[in-house]
Amino acid sequence: MKLYPEKLSASFSKGLLPSYVITGDEPLIRQELCDQIRQQARLEGFIERELFHVETGFDWQEIHYSLNSLSLFAEKKIVEVRLSQGKQPEKAGAALAALSEAGPDILVLLSMPRADGNVQKTKWFKALENVGAVIQVWPVAPKDLPRWIEQRVRQQGIRIDRDAVLALASRVEGNLLAAVQEMDRLVLSAPEKSISLDLVESSVSDHARYDAYQWLDAALMGKAARALRILNGLKTEGVEPLAVTGALIRELRQLMELAETAQGSSVDQALAGARVWPKRKALIGAALRRLGRSDLEQIHAATRRVDAMVKGAESGDPWGAMTAISMHLCGQALGLNLSSPNQGAH
């Protein structure tokens, strides 16, 4: 059966199911759902727990031994399996399917990233779904984050102003773990059980996990607003411009090499023959289709000028120049001559 995350607690009134599959790409929510199940299981006598982290080279016989071994300390136990990915090798199928036949004294708890359609069609997934519950966890969309924050705070008996909710949502930039940490800290410091905008602004640190590589990824994806927001966050946090230009220079070298290769073939062919991390191929490909070799050369020259500004060898505002570079990377050049030695000197 399928079970909505918010219905999990209420379902316990009917007793625990033999198995639970928690799947989704939001680790915090997956973790909290697993915590709820483990807590209820302890109340129902499942004292012992065996935890398996499934990575490359995992010995699936370990699960077989666990399902068939008698405990010396408790009659009931939890067998918890954490998969690092949804798709599993063929040899894993039998072991995972066996979890659906574990028996009444074993509670199966399986946690995994998002299970796509192919995974959901496998025999082992269907077997676990037939005897227990599959709970799909969806990321909290940016538009839903304020409501999610407000609900979490109010569940703790604390009022929070709407402006404070919006400010907090903006600061944590979709990072749910950071949001929870900040909410917990605000709840502890809230006078008269109320959180105001002033309290958020005075006590909340920016835990959006901004770093140079986040800015670079946003710029390569062409997300101008996000890239500028991160760049401003880096400046506000006192990050040195050289930390940003260092990350950019390394990326530009590879981009220019790929752009040159693509001139004689195509972007896809250039990427196929390059040592690009698979998860970054789409991002790099998007940048190459948006930016030509001349664009990349201009950006490279402008980045070198930022280094010179920071070191005092050239006049100008490094962060202002970085703003222009950011927009150019996003395909929204400001019409500035980035390679001009006088650009940025006002």
342 lies in some domain = no
Per the structure, the count of domains in the chain is 3
**Residue 343 has what pLDDT?**
39
pLDDT above 70 covers a percentage of the chain that reads 90
38-83 pLDDT, tens digit per residue, is 999 999 888 888 888 887 778 888 888 888 776 555 578 888 999 8
Q: Do residues 240 and 212 make contact, with C-beta atoms less than 8 angstroms apart?
A: no
Dihedral-angle region of residue 23 (phi above 0 means left; psi in -120 to 50 means alpha; beta otherwise): beta
1-34 pLDDT, tens digit per residue, is 998 988 999 999 998 999 999 998 888 888 899 9
Residues 295 and 324 in one domain: yes
Residues 196 and 288 in one domain: no
Per-residue exposure over 181-208, b if at least 16 CB sit within 10 Å of its own CB, e if not: ebbeebbeebeeeebbbebbeeebebeb
346 lies in some domain = no
One DSSP character per residue, 132-146 reads SEEEEE----GGGHH
Q: Which residue range(s) make up the domain with 122?
A: 5-137
| Across 59-73, 137-151, 173-187, 289-303, least confident range | 59-73
Question: Residue 206 pLDDT more than 60?
Answer: no
Residues 28 and 133 in one domain: yes
168 lies in some domain = yes
Residues 132 and 193 in one domain: no
**Residue 173 has what pLDDT?**
65
Return d(Cα 123, Cα 101) in angstroms, integer: 13
Residue ending a domain, among 137, 171, 189, is: 137
Residues 194 and 223 in one domain: no
Q: What is the mean pLDDT of the chain?
A: 83
pLDDT above 90 covers a percentage of the chain that reads 21
Q: Do residues 245 and 307 make contact, with C-beta atoms less than 8 angstroms apart?
A: yes
Instruction: Tell me which H or E stretch contains 45.
Output: none
Local structure of residue 291 (DSSP, 8 states):
-
The count of residues in the chain is: 346
The tokens describing 97, both together, are 């399917």
- The larger pLDDT score, comparing residue 262 to residue 227, is at 227
130 lies in some domain = yes
Residues 55 and 84 in one domain: yes
341 lies in some domain = no
Q: What is the dihedral of CA 243, 246, 250, 253, to 10 degrees?
A: 140
Residues 26 and 108 in one domain: yes
Amino acid (1-letter code) at residue 59: D
130-160 pLDDT, tens digit per residue, is 999 999 998 888 888 899 999 989 988 899 9
Residues 292 and 182 in one domain: no
Residues 77 and 152 in one domain: no
What are the two backbone dihedrals, phi and then psi, of residue 336, each rounded to the nearest 5 degrees?
-95, 145
Q: Domain containing 199 — which CATH number?
A: 1.10.8.60
**Residue 288 has what pLDDT?**
87
338 lies in some domain = no
What are the two backbone dihedrals, phi and then psi, of residue 148, each rounded to the nearest 5 degrees?
-65, -45
**Residue 140 has what pLDDT?**
84
291 lies in some domain = yes
Residues 218 and 267 in one domain: yes
309-340 pLDDT, tens digit per residue, is 988 888 889 999 999 999 999 988 654 444 44
Q: Domain containing 121 — which CATH number?
A: 3.40.50.300
Residues 163 and 272 in one domain: no
**Residue 210 has what pLDDT?**
61
223-238 pLDDT, tens digit per residue, is 998 889 889 888 887 7
Residues 150 and 81 in one domain: no
Residue ending a domain, among 137, 168, 195, is: 137
